[in-house]
Structure formats: C-alpha cells, structure tokens
C-alpha cells in the first residue's frame, strides 16, 4: 500500500540540543559544506545509498534521494541550544574535530548560528558548568520555555516544519520509575517539579512532541524511552527515535556478533576498551554518566546472540566495556576489542580489533539521516517509536511487547523495506 506523503515544501528547521558540541558542529558544518559543493556526504545513506526496486532481473538501483521525497539540503535551517554561548564557528574551533580550511569554507553561515540558552541542571551532567542557561530549573517552566523557543525559531526562519535532535551530553543514569509509566503521572511529576526523576532532556523531548516536531535522542539518556513519551508521541502523532548513535565500537559489535551467530561459533568473552579525549570523554569520566552509556553498550551482544536459545554457545559470556578519558587523543578515539571465540570441539580462538576512528566524523552523517528520515516519517503520518531507524542506534527503543533488533544488516533491510513501502514499491525478501 502506498502512503500519501506530504511534499517536503518550504524550510525544515533543524534544532540541535548541544549545538556547540563536537558531533553537532561537525554535523552542521558538513551539511553546509555539502550543499555548497565543498564536500562529499560520506557515511550518509540519504545522500549516497541506492535502493533496489523491483525484481533482481530488472536491475533497477536508483539513489534513495531520487525516489524518496526527502527534504533538500538547501531547505535546512539550523539552530539549537547549548549551555555555552559560542556560535557554531567558535564551537567548532574549540572542538578541534575539523581543520581550519573546512570550517572556514562555511564561516559566515556558522557565525550566524548561535545557540539559545539551554535547559540545564548540573546535577544531571556533573562535569559541566554552563553559563548560557535558562534561569528557572522548574521542569514545567523549562518545558514551556523550550516550546516557545521552537515556535519563535519556526516563525523567525519561516520554517514549515521542525525536527529536534539531541546531540548533547550524556546525563546521569536514571532507571525508569512509576511516574514515567503514563503521560498523566509524568505530567504530574513535571508540574510538581520532581527534579530527581525528570531529566532536562525530558523537557526538550516533551516540548518538541508538544510542538509537533519529531525528536531524536542521540545519547543513551532514558528520556524518550518511557511509556509516557510513547503515549504522548502517539497522542500528538509525532515520530520519535532513539537512543544513542551507533557509531564506532558498537557498530563493529553489531557486525561481528551476527557473524559468529550465523556460523554457530561460540563466544566466551568480549572485552571492549577505548581512549578518547573530547568533552564527551570528560563527561563520561563521571561514573554516573558512564553508567548510562555502559547499560546502552552492554545490551547489544545478548540480544543478538540469544543465549537462552544457544546455551552451549553463549550461555556464559564475560562482557566488559570500558571508556577511558585520555585528553591527548581529543576526538580521535581508539577502541580495542578482544573477542574470545570458540570453534569446533570447543577449541578457543581470538579476534582483535583496533579501530582508530573519529567519533564525530562517524556520528555526523547519522544525525543528517535521522533528521531527514524523521521528517519524512512525519510527512508520511507515522508516529511513535520509529523502529525502522534502529539501524542508526545502539539501544533501539521498543515497546514492552517487542524485542529490539540489533543486527546491523537486518536493521538495514528493515529501513529499506520501510522506504519501499512508503513509496508504493514491493518489499524485498531476496527470494527472487
């Protein structure tokens, strides 16, 4: 069945929470550079990937962006919030991800993108001391102020639609509690200013959904991953996606673990450690923020390997994840994996991965794709958790009935089949 897709007319406002961060500035600069013809959108499915339409024999592989009505990069308008007042040009110079030549290519545009004051509470990100923050810490007032920001931005920039993406710091670990389980109890807790269970990120998410703007959670924060938000997004008919961008080490895991399972090879242990020296690394050096990340990173292997179905292969895995803040490396993370695998008749073998990656370079194209696809989902009339976007996320959100899908290639098939369905093409099962 073909969906009626509202056309991508007018401007799309892209509001980034954590606008001055390494990921955000790299995302904004790269997108502006691509649309000026100064760079290539490497890593972006929306900009580069093709999609097979029809039977194999038809040999028809158009680019996704040529057959799916995505918003044109020229129609994006950037804005957002940060706890520091620097414009994106200054922020990018501080982040030291991109070199001067690349930043200067779009300097004038970057100078004009200044963050709005943030909704921030230092108890939730202990290592940061923000100066550019909204005065109130009252959760309901903060939410109202963010809603006003979204409306004002939309009006000032003559935007047709807005998408909000969280690429701000990881908050401290927050387990789901009773108040998160329904919209009524959640709103009550906000109005009672329960600062202990309503994270600032939840204020952004609630505000965004209330304003009809899709919300994407790129950090492992609980935020959207609660029944109250699922209920609200269904009520307001707004798509939501999260959580935690799937970039370096976890992307490798979601490729290697399915390989082991497909070949029925066993696993004894998986030790992952990495060093990174950017601000994200500094925030994650705080045990409470690290806990949020650790939970997100640990969930992957068990869900892929299904130890309950294969106790002889995966019944006793030792899985450890470490993140070490090491300033000299800045954004250029190095991640090591030691994987102890088991073969025929129980003979042990080892796999070693040394991934010298650049965190923000891997995350930026994901931001672009998530923004464009969430906007597409809104125009298609899809709402609630967008499971088809799990491909981009380390801890794909799911309701209580469904188990998450972590396998990168199954996720990719789901993404493409969803696109095929949207444009009235046959989904593909690879039997032809």
β-strands 334-342, 348-356 pairing: antiparallel
Which residue lies nearer to ligand NAD by CB, 90 or 187?
Answer: 90
What residues are paired with 356 via a beta bridge?
334
Packing angle between helix 183-191 and helix 200-210, nearest 10 degrees? 120
Which residue lies nearer to ligand NAD by CB, 5 or 298?
Answer: 298
d(CA 432, CA 414) in angstroms, rounded, equals 18
Instruction: List the one residue out of 68, 44, 51 whose CA is nearest residue 380.
Output: 68
Contact predicate 244/363, CB 8 Å: no
Smallest gap from Cβ 227 to ligand NAD, in A, equals: 23
What is the DSSP-derived secondary structure letter of residue 171? Answer: P
- Tell me whether residue 6 is exposed, middle or buried, using C-beta atoms within 10 angstroms of its C-beta: 0 to 12, 13 to 18, 19 or more: middle
User: Chain centroid to CA 97: how far?
Assistant: 19
Instruction: List the one residue out of 298, 304, 296 whose CA is nearest residue 259.
Output: 304
Give the Å distances, CA to CA, from 208 to 148, 363, 378: 10, 22, 13
User: Chain centroid to CA 59: how far?
Assistant: 33
Which residue lies nearer to ligand NAD by CB, 205 or 419?
Answer: 205
**CA-based diameter of the chain, in Å?**
68
Smallest gap from Cβ 280 to ligand NAD, in A, equals: 3
Which residue lies nearer to ligand NAD by CB, 232 or 290?
Answer: 290
User: Chain centroid to CA 204: how far?
Assistant: 15
Smallest gap from Cβ 237 to ligand NAD, in A, equals: 26
d(CA 158, CA 154) in angstroms, rounded, equals 6
Q: SS3 string of 108-121?
A: HHHHCCCCEEECCC
Smallest gap from Cβ 168 to ligand NAD, in A, equals: 3
Q: Coil, strand or helix: which one is 194?
A: coil
Smallest gap from Cβ 239 to ligand NAD, in A, equals: 20
Which residue lies nearer to ligand NAD by CB, 323 or 419?
Answer: 323
Smallest gap from Cβ 119 to ligand NAD, in A, equals: 6
Structure tokens at 284: 């994650």
Closest residue to ligand NAD, based on beta-carbon distance: 21
Which residue lies nearer to ligand NAD by CB, 172 or 267?
Answer: 172
Smallest gap from Cβ 221 to ligand NAD, in A, equals: 8
Which residue lies nearer to ligand NAD by CB, 105 or 281?
Answer: 281
Residues lying near ligand NAD in the complex (CB under 6 A) are found at 17-18, 20-24, 81-84, 95, 118-120, 125, 128, 167-170, 200, 218-219, 244-245, 247-248, 278-280, 283, 359-360, 362-363
Which residue lies nearer to ligand NAD by CB, 277 or 384?
Answer: 277
d(CA 90, CA 103) in angstroms, rounded, equals 10
Which residue lies nearer to ligand NAD by CB, 159 or 199?
Answer: 199
Smallest gap from Cβ 47 to ligand NAD, in A, equals: 19
Smallest gap from Cβ 354 to ligand NAD, in A, equals: 17
DSSP 354-390: EEE--HHHHHHHHHHHHHHHHHHHHHHT--EE-GGGG
């Amino acid at each position: 069945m073909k969906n009626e897709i509202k056309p991508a007319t007018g401007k799309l406002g892209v509001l980034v929470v954590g606008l001055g961060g390494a990921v955000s500035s790299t995302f904004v600069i790269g997108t502006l550079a691509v649309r000026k013809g100064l760079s290539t959108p490497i890593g972006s499915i929306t900009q580069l990937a093709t999609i097979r339409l029809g039977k194999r024999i038809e040999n028809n592989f158009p680019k996704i962006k040529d057959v799916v009505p995505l918003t044109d990069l020229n129609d994006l308008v950037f804005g957002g919030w940060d706890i520091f007042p620097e414009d994106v040009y200054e922020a990018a110079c501080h982040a030291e991800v991109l070199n001067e030549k690349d930043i200067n290519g779009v300097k004038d545009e970057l100078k004009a993108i200044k963050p709005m004051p943030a909704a921030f509470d230092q108890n939730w990100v202990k290592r940061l001391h923000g100066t550019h923050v909204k005065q109130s810490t009252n959760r309901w007032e903060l939410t109202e102020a963010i809603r006003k920001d979204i409306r004002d931005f939309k009006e000032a920039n003559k935007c047709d639609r807005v998408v909000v993406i969280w690429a701000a710091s990881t908050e401290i670990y927050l387990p789901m509690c009773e108040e998160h389980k329904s919209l009524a109890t959640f709103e009550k807790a906000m109005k009672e200013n329960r600062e202990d269970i309503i994270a600032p990120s939840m204020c952004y998410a609630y505000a965004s959904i209330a304003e009809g703007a899709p919300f994407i959670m790129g950090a492992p924060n609980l935020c959207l991953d609660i029944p109250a938000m699922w209920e609200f997004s269904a009520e307001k008919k707004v798509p939501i996606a999260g959580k935690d961008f799937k970039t370096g080490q976890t992307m490798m895991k979601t490729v290697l673990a399915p390989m082991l399972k497909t070949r029925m090879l066993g696993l004894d242990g998986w030790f992952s450690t990495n060093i990174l020296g950017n601000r994200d690394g500094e925030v994650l050096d705080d045990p409470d923020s690290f806990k949020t990340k650790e939970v997100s990173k640990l969930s992957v292997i068990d869900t892929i390997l299904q130890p309950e179905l294969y106790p002889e292969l995966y019944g006793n895995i030792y899985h450890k994840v470490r993140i070490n803040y090491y300033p000299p490396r800045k954004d250029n993370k190095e991640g090591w994996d030691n994987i102890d695998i088991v073969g025929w008749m129980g003979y042990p073998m080892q796999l070693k991965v040394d991934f010298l990656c650049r965190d923000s370079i891997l995350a930026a194209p994901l931001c672009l794709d998530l923004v464009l696809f969430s906007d597409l989902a809104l125009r298609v009339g899809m709402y609630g958790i967008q499971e088809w976007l799990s491909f981009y996320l380390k801890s794909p959100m799911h309701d209580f009935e469904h188990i998450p899908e972590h396998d990168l290639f199954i996720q990719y098939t789901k993404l493409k089949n969803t696109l095929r369905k949207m444009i009235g093409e046959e989904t593909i099962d690879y039997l032809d």
